[in-house]
Amino acid sequence: MNYKFIFLILFSSFSANTSELEIGGLLLDNTISRQGKEFAYKFSQLWQDLPHSDGINVQIKEQVIPRSGTKLTVNMNNTLIYVTYMGRRQEPIKSRVEQAMLILIEMMAKSQFTEHNPDISNDGW
């Protein structure tokens, strides 16, 4: 795939209509197996509907474990937030995707606040 061509198209459309183009967060799929691809696909379906994902980069990685299956990890802005293991047999993935998405939403909310934020004080005022 010619990445320079895609970048030029994206850059030209961005420079031509800067007020109309809105880029949200980025979802990277680094999966290998059929189960990993299915997990990433279902996760991406939920990711599309997630509001306020600007500046959030999510990466789904898969590591093959010999004779056992695979290890799937979900990283948000280079921070590990979710890990699951899948055997070699086909298993239901929907509940794991939903669990990963709920954790992602929680971590997105936590990333917007810091300890030194005046809105979060110890005395409640």
This prediction's pTM: 0.70
Beta strands in 19-95 (DSSP E): 26-30, 57-65, 69-76, 79-87
CA distances from 121 to 80, 108, 109, 112, 114 (A): 27, 20, 17, 15, 11
CA-wise closest residue to 84 among 57, 63, 66: 63
Q: For the segment 40-89, what is each residue's pLDDT rounded down to a tens digit?
A: 999 999 988 888 777 888 999 999 888 888 999 999 988 999 999 988 78
Q: What is the pLDDT of residue 59?
A: 93
Q: Domain map of the chain by residue range?
A: 30-101
H or E stretch at 38: helix 34-48
Please provide the CATH number assigned to the domain covering 30-101: 3.30.160
Mean pLDDT of 82-111: 88
Q: Is the pLDDT of residue 119 over 90?
A: no
Q: What is the pLDDT of residue 67?
A: 84
CA-wise closest residue to 41 among 56, 52, 31: 31
